[in-house]
A and B are shown apart, each in its own frame.
Chain A
Amino acid sequence: MIHLSQLSKVFASSNGGILPALGPLNLTINAGEFVCLVGPSGCGKSTLLRILAELDSPSGGSFQIAKNADRNVTPTLVFQGDSTFPWMTVFENVGYGLRMQGVDSKDSDAIVEQMLRTVGLSQFAESYPYQLSGGMKQRVALARAWANDPAILLMDEPFGALDEQTRLSLQHELLHIWELGDTLKKNKDQAKKTVLFVTHSIDEALVLGDRVLVMSQRPGLIRDEISVPFARPRDPITLKRDPLYGELAYRLWQALK
């Protein structure tokens, strides 16, 4: 669960004044919900994610986030572009969060192996990122995020730099992992992770989200909200034949104008 009340962020501008970047925002995202956030560049989407990931602090207002019950993990952020550490093998990259959180190496190895199997990278466990393609690197980032097993996952245009085909297959994979539910299968009540997914692409938002939020130009405010009623599990390709898909896409484009 994520709850924002009057959350805002301002930056100091070069001429000494202040530059409102975000909000004030009021928003509630329910546990297990997949919410996509679309909006023009520079509207503060990334800033919002950084605040929720505790890499930045808000200028005003407050937010509450649900944390993982037994390990108290902050929301994991999947960064824009390549976010693997070049000096670690795939295995070490995926296990990094677990290691930093002091998880016993036997347990963490088992989790990492399971995640690598899920994203189909078992054979590349000992490879270094330079030996992987862009899509494979994003799979590593996904696997690392899931291995951490946070209650909330924040994703900042993770597939933005990929070609269309790779992007489709990764969207498919993301939905698949998400629908598998909790990584450790410990918390039965919290089957799926809460996801806040930032994207430029309206198609991506419709394919992935339960709900799409449209943000306005700086300072970012939530201008519109569309719920996406497609049944799950979804297939990113067949979805596009649904007449409702075109209708929703049209409404989103209108809202963005």
Chain B
Amino acid sequence: MSKERLLPFISPLILLTIWEMLARIGVIDIRFFPAPSEIFGTLIKITQDGSLLEATLTTLRRMSIGYVLAAIPAVLLGVLMGVNRFARLLFAPLINSLYPIPKIALVPMVILIFGISENAKYAVVIISVFFLVVINTMAGVLNLDPKYFDIARNNGARGWDLLWTVAFPGSLPNILTGLNLGLGFALTVIVGTELLLPQGGLGAMIWKSYQIYDVPTIFAALIVVAVLGWGINVAMEELERQIIPWKALPQAQAKNLSTNAKPVAEPRIRRFIRIWWMAARPFSFTASVTPVVLGSAIAAYDGFFNLGLFILTLVGSVAIHAGTNLINDYYDWKKGTDTAESLGPNRPLKEGLITPQQLFVAALLTFALGSAVGLYLVATRGVFILIIGVLSVLAGWFYTAGPFAFAYVGLGEVVVFIFMGPVMVLGSYYVMAQQWPWRVVWLAVPLGLIVASILHANNMRDYPDDLAKGKRTLANLLGRRASKNEFLLLMGGGFVVLVLLVLLGIAPWLTLITLFELPNAIKLIRLGYATEAPQPLNKLVRASAASHKRFGWLMIAGMIAAWVVRG
């Protein structure tokens, strides 16, 4: 079993080792097959001098602009051809005859028309993606079981209803498959085009390295192309999971069918990782990962991106967060508040998979890792990090401790807003950019408002309990009615502020993709107004957290897209 798991890693490792040895003892010609260690060295070198990042961004920019320009009309035309026979008969011959042409063969024609320009590159991508997506979308609509249209009609659906409630959602899985294929194809085609028109980009990097016989750089660029292709695939699959929650994933289905079937024997390392992963409560990490990634994305947009610093910041903040979770659980266990019958957080501890002592040691180790990373950043990137770090620790400490515990005097939302929003975003921005412009603080406000809305939903749920215990939260200080308005202010405010920032030119317009989350947020706000019962309010807490996660990632995606498009 564990052998089988190792196999996929063994074969590439063996290949690399043999390759390395053969290159070193001179059996293979290192002019054509440089040693893996040399390729790796080249990869590091061109990463540090920035040429690799620039080439990658150029390729990504061409790919994504061409892709978006092609994909949107292609989906619309595909749906139209799927539902409308007239449109299908009209366009199908054109699409079917142009689709099989190898798109790279069109490059000379495109150059004749557009000249040697950026437009020529977009055009090749557009032509390649368009037909693929149209055909997949149309097939998706046509393959939909006609029964669904009958059911919809019988239930009173007419005209557009059929399109929006049946044709479109029903064919969405196929549409996304087409979009996924299209994006992979766009990468292939743009790299190919850059070989023919070598003006920047990864393809040009490969071509120019070939001309000067710089083989290690060719390999390094190829590795990046491969990683991009893989990353695109992974990202699209995750997107698919988010957009199509109704699709039975093979995994989920298997879980459903055999709830009692357990793996025979879990390998020890995997078991170790799984248990501690569970103990650290990774679902809560979003709250600290999102602001760090957002701060880094803003820094990238401003031209300060640095992969090493990014990884360090991320590792440091996640370690501190995990340590906090572990130590909280340890003290909860000691105080006995988290007894077996409560829904309390730490499952492995409760199930006896780990002992309290192990938990304590783990918390210390995680803190040590976090502090080491933090101190390194302070030493190399400046005292400002230290100030932010100390303030955060103090805020965390006085959150529930001391005579003036923020959480008990109705300041919880304010503290969470400040620290999980502007402070963390600004801190991670500062690590890369070494400055703290107010603009970054403004950009963090929407995220801060929405993270505060999670806590507020929590306090709305615990309203009667907190009142009884004498814990004063903003919710029970304001009263039921006003606390509902407060939720609207926090959740809705996030979106309003973001739109204002875009209008003022502070946020790039691409961050408006966060508005995809708006309908969901409106649903939550309405739920907040509609109910005072603990059960639906519990749902509100969880849904707000999910909403914060999506809002954060959409905002990050918008910043990164703006960075890539600007180049």
A residues within 8 Å of B by Cβ?
A: 50, 53-55, 73-74, 76-77, 79, 83, 85-89, 96-97, 100-101, 128-131, 144, 148
Partner of B166, one of A77, A85, A97: A85
A60 to B488: give the CA distance in the assembly, Å. 60
Of the four ranges (under 10, 10 to 19, 20 to 34, 35 or more), the interface on chain B belongs to 20 to 34
A144 to B157: give the CA distance in the assembly, Å. 14
A100/B246 contact (C-beta < 8 A), A83-B151, A85-B166, A87-B170 known = no
Q: Name the B residues within 8 Å of A53 (CB-CB).
A: 154
| Cβ-defined contact, A74 with B169, below 8 A | no
List 12 A–B pairs whose Cβ atoms lie within 8 Å, in order of A's numbering.
A55-B150, A55-B153, A74-B154, A85-B169, A89-B246, A100-B156, A100-B161, A128-B246, A130-B248, A130-B253, A130-B256, A131-B256
CB-defined interface of B234-269 with A at 8 Å, one 1/0 digit per residue? Answer: 000000000011111000110010000000000000
Q: Name the A residues within 8 Å of B156 (CB-CB).
A: 73-74, 97, 100-101, 148
Q: With a 10 A CB-CB cut-off, give which of A86, A87, A89, A101 has the most chain B CB atoms.
A: A87
Partner of B246, one of A96, A97, A130: A130
| Cβ-defined contact, A87 with B154, below 8 A | no
A85 to B147: give the CA distance in the assembly, Å. 10
Say yes or no for B405: interface residue by CB 8 A criterion.
no
Q: Name the B residues within 8 Å of A76 (CB-CB).
A: 154-155
A97/B155 contact (C-beta < 8 A), A87-B170, A130-B248, A131-B256 known = yes
**B155-191 contacts to A (CB < 8 Å):** 155-158, 161, 165-166, 169-170, 172
CB-defined interface of B71-88 with A at 8 Å, one 1/0 digit per residue? Answer: 000000000000000000
Say yes or no for B398: interface residue by CB 8 A criterion.
no
**B94-120 contacts to A (CB < 8 Å):** none
Say yes or no for B152: interface residue by CB 8 A criterion.
yes
Min CB distance B241 to A, Å, is: 13
Q: Name the B residues within 8 Å of A97 (CB-CB).
A: 155-156
A97 to B170: give the CA distance in the assembly, Å. 17
Min CB distance B452 to A, Å, is: 26
| Cβ-defined contact, A144 with B170, below 8 A | no
Q: Which residue of A lies closest to B156 (CB)?
A: A100
Q: Which residue of B lies closest to A133 (CB)?
A: B256
A89 to B256: give the CA distance in the assembly, Å. 17
Q: Which 7 A-B pairs have the closest CB atoms?
A: A130-B248, A97-B155, A100-B156, A87-B169, A128-B246, A101-B156, A100-B157
Q: Which residue of A lies closest to B169 (CB)?
A: A87
A77 to B345: give the CA distance in the assembly, Å. 48
Say yes or no for B40: interface residue by CB 8 A criterion.
no
| Cβ-defined contact, B151 with A79, below 8 A | yes
| Cβ-defined contact, A85 with B148, below 8 A | yes
B residues within 8 Å of A by Cβ?
A: 147-148, 150-158, 161, 165-166, 169-170, 172, 244-248, 252-253, 256
Q: A88-B169, A128-B246, A148-B156 are in contact. List 8 more A-B contacts (CB 8 A).
A: A54-B154, A55-B154, A77-B151, A85-B170, A87-B169, A87-B244, A96-B155, A130-B253
Q: Which residue of A lies closest to B149 (CB)?
A: A55
Partner of A87, one of B150, B153, B246, B252: B246
Q: Which residue of A lies closest to B150 (CB)?
A: A55
Min CB distance A40 to B, Å, is: 23
A148/B155 contact (C-beta < 8 A), A85-B148, A87-B172 known = yes
Name A's interface SS. Answer: loop
Partner of B151, one of A73, A85, A87, A130: A85
A148 to B153: give the CA distance in the assembly, Å. 13
Q: Name the B residues within 8 Å of A100 (CB-CB).
A: 152, 155-158, 161, 165
Min CB distance A182 to B, Å, is: 19
Min CB distance B96 to A, Å, is: 28
A231 to B540: give the CA distance in the assembly, Å. 48
Q: Which residue of B lies closest to A100 (CB)?
A: B156
| Cβ-defined contact, A77 with B256, below 8 A | no
A89 to B244: give the CA distance in the assembly, Å. 12
A53 to B151: give the CA distance in the assembly, Å. 10
A88 to B157: give the CA distance in the assembly, Å. 15
A101 to B154: give the CA distance in the assembly, Å. 11
Q: Name the B residues within 8 Å of A50 (CB-CB).
A: 150
Q: With a 10 A CB-CB cut-off, give which of A50, A74, A86, A129 has the most chain B CB atoms.
A: A86
Q: Which residue of B lies closest to A129 (CB)?
A: B246
Q: With a 10 A CB-CB cut-off, give which of A79, A83, A100 has the most chain B CB atoms.
A: A100
Min CB distance A86 to B, Å, is: 5
A83 to B166: give the CA distance in the assembly, Å. 13
Min CB distance A151 to B, Å, is: 15
A76 to B169: give the CA distance in the assembly, Å. 23
A54 to B153: give the CA distance in the assembly, Å. 9
Min CB distance A238 to B, Å, is: 34
Partner of B154, one of A77, A128, A130: A77
Min CB distance B440 to A, Å, is: 38
Q: Which residue of A lies closest to B256 (CB)?
A: A131
Q: Name the B residues within 8 Å of A128 (CB-CB).
A: 245-246
Q: Name the B residues within 8 Å of A73 (CB-CB).
A: 156
Min CB distance A32 to B, Å, is: 22
A88 to B244: give the CA distance in the assembly, Å. 10
Q: With a 10 A CB-CB cut-off, give which of B150, B155, B247 has the most chain A CB atoms.
A: B155
A111 to B238: give the CA distance in the assembly, Å. 35
Q: Name the A residues within 8 Å of B247 (CB-CB).
A: 86, 130
Q: Which residue of A lies closest to B162 (CB)?
A: A100
Q: Name the B residues within 8 Å of A148 (CB-CB).
A: 155-156
Q: Name the B residues within 8 Å of A96 (CB-CB).
A: 152, 155, 165
Q: Name the A residues within 8 Å of B161 (CB-CB).
A: 100
Q: Name the B residues within 8 Å of A129 (CB-CB).
A: 246
| Cβ-defined contact, B246 with A88, below 8 A | yes
Q: Name the A residues within 8 Å of B155 (CB-CB).
A: 76, 96-97, 100-101, 144, 148
Q: Which residue of B lies closest to A87 (CB)?
A: B169
A144 to B166: give the CA distance in the assembly, Å. 16
Min CB distance B456 to A, Å, is: 23
Q: Name the A residues within 8 Å of B170 (CB-CB).
A: 85-87
Q: Name the A residues within 8 Å of B245 (CB-CB).
A: 128
A77 to B172: give the CA distance in the assembly, Å. 26
